[in-house]
C-alpha cells in the first residue's frame, strides 16, 4: 500500500470551488486535500484555464456530448494529476536550498516526523559525500499528498437527454460523478459524504480500481460518518460487496463548514470515544 501523507492533517472539501484545485497548490508538499466534483461545468471551465496555463492540449467536451458529465470529470482529474506529477517531479530534482519547493517540503513537515528528523540530520552533516547521499535518499523518500475527491451521496438527481427524456440510472448526478472519478488515472480516495445512497454504493462494484490487486487499492473509499453506528452499518454493506473502507471520517455535525448534518445531540467527544474503544474490534471480532 502506498505511503500516507507525512502530515497529520488534511484539507477537507471546501464548498464547490474553494478547494476545487487545492491539490494543484499543495499536493507537491505531501499534503492531502479534497476537491468537489459536483459541478462538471465548473471543472470544464477550469480545465480550459489550466490547460492553457500549462500549455497542455485542450479539447472541449460539450454538454451535448454523450456522457459529458463523467467525461468532463475524468478529464479534469487527469489534468490535475498531470499538474501535480509535473510539479512533484520538478520538486524532486531541486536543490536542497532555502527558497526551493524541495526545501519547503521538509520545512512544512511536523517536527516529530521521521522524514523531518532525517532532513535535520542531513542538514547537520558536515561530510560532503555523506550529505549528498542523504539528500538523494531523502529525494526518494518523499511522496506527494493524495488528490482526493468528494461526492455528496444524496445529491443525485436524474439527468435528461436533449429531447427532455430521462436518462438511465447510471447517468444520474452522483453515479456519473463516481464514474468520472473511477475512470480517471488518479490513485487516491473518494469521499462519500452526506448520507447513504444504496444505488451509488452498488455502482462502485462496477469499477476495477476499487478492488485489491496484490493487496493494492488503486482507488480507496473514505466514508464520512456521523457516528460509530453508521460506520458499522455502511462499512458492512460495502464489505459484503468486496469493497474496503480505507478511512472512516467523523465530522462534527454543527461545528463545520457548509451543510450541517446535526446529530440528535450526540457530541464529537463521546462519538470519538466510541471509535477509540472499538478501534480494534471495528475490523476484528465485532458483530
Partner 1 sequence: MPNFFEMCNQALKAKGRKEFSAMPVQRITAQGGVGNNDEHQFLLSYFELDGVGWGSPFLLVPEATNVDDETLQKLATAVKEDYYLSYASPLGVPFNNFRKSSGEAQRKERIVKNRPGSPCYKKLLSSNTEFTEKIICTSSRQYQNLKIKQIKSLSVSDAEKQQLIDQIEEKDCLCEGLTSSVLLKNKIPVPHNINAVTICPGPNLAYFSGVHTLKEMIGHIYGRINLNNKLERPNMFINELQLYIDYLQRQITEFGDSISEKQKKYIDKFKSNLQSGIDYYKNLLPRFTNFSFNALQLNSLEMQLANTGIFEEV
Among 6, 21, 28, 171, binds partner 1 (CB under 8 A): 21
Q: What is the dihedral of CA 275, 280, 282, 287, to 10 degrees?
A: -120
What number of chain residues touch partner 1 (CB under 8 A)? Answer: 89
Site for partner 1 in 221-250 (CB under 8 A): 235-236, 239-250
Decide: is 41 part of the binding site for partner 1 (CB under 8 A): yes
Determine, following the binding rule CB under 8 A, whether residue 196 of this chain makes contact with partner 1: no
1 forms part of the interface with partner 1 (CB under 8 A): yes
Positive or negative CA dihedral for 80, 86, 88, 91? negative
CB of 214 to partner 1, least distance (A): 7
Q: Which is nearer to partner 1, 100 or 246 (CB)?
A: 246
Among 60, 199, 206, 279, which residue sits at the site for partner 1 (rule: CB under 8 A)?
279
Which CB sits closer to partner 1, 125 or 263? 263
CB of 139 vs partner 1, minimal distance in Å? 21
Sheet harboring 33-36: ordered strands across? 33-36, 147-152, 189-193, 220-225
**Residue 209 phi/psi, 5° resolution?**
-65, -15
Site for partner 1, residues 55 to 84, rule: CB under 8 A: none
What is the total residue count of the chain? 287
Site for partner 1 in 94-113 (CB under 8 A): 104, 107-108, 110-111
Q: How far is CA 77 from CA 27, 148, 180, 229, in A?
A: 13, 10, 8, 33
- Least distance to partner 1, CB of residue 132, Å: 26
- What Å distances lie between residue 123 and 10, 115, 133, 257, CA to CA? 27, 12, 12, 40
Q: CA-to-CA distance for 119 and 74, rounded, in angstroms? A: 37
Cell numbers given for 231:
460506520
Task: Check residue 134 for interaction with partner 1 (CB under 8 A).
Answer: no
Contacting partner 1 within 149-188 (CB under 8 A):
155, 157, 173
- Rounded to a whole number of angstroms, the minimum distance from the CB of residue 127 to partner 1 is 29
CA distance 148 to 241: 22
Contact status: 256 vs partner 1 (CB under 8 A): yes
When asked if residue 206 is in the footprint of partner 1 (CB under 8 A), the reply is no
Amino acid at each position: 500500500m502506498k505511503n500516507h501523507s507525512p502530515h497529520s492533517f488534511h484539507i477537507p472539501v471546501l464548498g464547490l470551488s474553494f478547494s476545487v484545485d487545492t491539490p494543484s497548490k499543495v499536493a507537491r508538499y505531501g499534503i492531502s486535500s479534497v476537491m468537489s466534483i459536483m459541478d462538471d461545468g465548473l471543472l470544464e471551465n477550469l480545465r480550459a484555464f489550466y490547460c492553457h496555463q500549462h500549455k497542455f492540449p485542450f479539447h472541449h467536451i460539450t454538454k451535448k456530448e454523450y456522457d459529458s458529465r463523467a467525461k468532463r470529470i475524468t478529464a479534469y482529474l487527469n489534468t490535475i494529476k498531470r499538474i501535480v506529477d509535473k510539479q512533484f517531479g520538478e520538486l524532486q530534482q531541486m536543490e536542497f536550498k532555502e527558497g526551493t519547493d524541495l526545501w519547503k517540503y521538509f520545512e512544512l513537515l511536523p517536527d516529530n516526523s521521521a522524514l523531518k528528523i532525517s532532513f535535520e540530520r542531513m542538514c547537520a552533516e558536515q561530510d560532503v559525500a555523506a550529505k549528498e547521499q542523504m539528500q538523494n535518499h531523502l529525494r526518494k523518500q518523499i511522496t506527494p499528498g493524495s488528490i482526493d475527491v468528494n461526492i455528496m451521496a444524496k445529491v443525485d438527481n436524474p439527468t435528461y437527454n436533449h429531447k427532455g427524456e430521462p436518462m438511465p440510472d447510471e447517468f444520474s448526478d452522483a453515479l456519473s460523478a463516481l464514474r468520472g472519478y473511477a475512470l480517471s488515472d488518479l490513485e487516491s480516495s473518494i469521499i462519500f459524504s452526506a448520507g447513504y445512497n444504496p444505488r451509488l454504493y452498488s455502482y462502485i462494484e462496477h469499477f476495477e480500481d476499487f478492488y485489491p490487486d496484490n493487496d493494492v487499492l488503486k482507488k480507496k473509499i473514505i466514508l464520512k460518518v456521523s457516528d460509530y453506528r453508521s460506520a458499522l452499518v455502511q462499512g458492512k454493506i460495502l464489505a459484503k460487496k468486496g469493497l474496503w473502507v480505507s478511512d472512516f471520517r467523523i465530522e462534527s455535525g454543527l461545528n463545520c463548514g457548509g451543510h450541517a448534518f446535526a446529530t440528535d445531540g450526540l457530541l464529537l467527544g463521546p462519538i470519538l470515544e466510541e471509535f477509540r474503544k472499538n478501534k480494534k474490534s471495528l475490523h476484528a471480532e465485532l458483530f
